[in-house]
Amino acid sequence: RKFNIYIFNKISNEINLPGVNSADNLNITKLENSIEIKALAEKEVFIKNIDVKLPLKSYSLENGNLILDFESK
């Protein structure tokens, strides 16, 4: 399940990562035209790519959901 939420000058994207309990288990890499997310759960590894050229402003992990905040132009 994924949501895009637009708030003034910010775009938020929520990604469900069940079993990922700590931001220490995340690796977020900015690529040329996307963001690559690698997340480690107890018995699974998640690898996700999001096609976005916007700069990543912040991120947080809440109850197995990764929330990415991008600056909109």
Q: Is the pLDDT of residue 12 over 90?
A: no
Buried b / exposed e across 31-48, counting CB within 10 Å, b at 16+?
Answer: eeeebebebbeeeeebee
More confident residue, 7 or 22: 22
For residues 6-33, give the mean pLDDT.
Answer: 87
Q: What is the pLDDT of residue 11?
A: 82
> CA-CA distance, 42 to 56, in Å (whole number)?
27
User: pLDDT tens across 35-63, in order?
Assistant: 999 999 989 999 999 998 889 999 999 99
Radius of gyration of the chain (CA): 12
Question: Cβ atoms within 10 A of the Cβ of 70, count?
Answer: 21
**What is the DSSP-derived secondary structure letter of residue 55?**
P
For residues 2-26, give the mean pLDDT.
Answer: 80
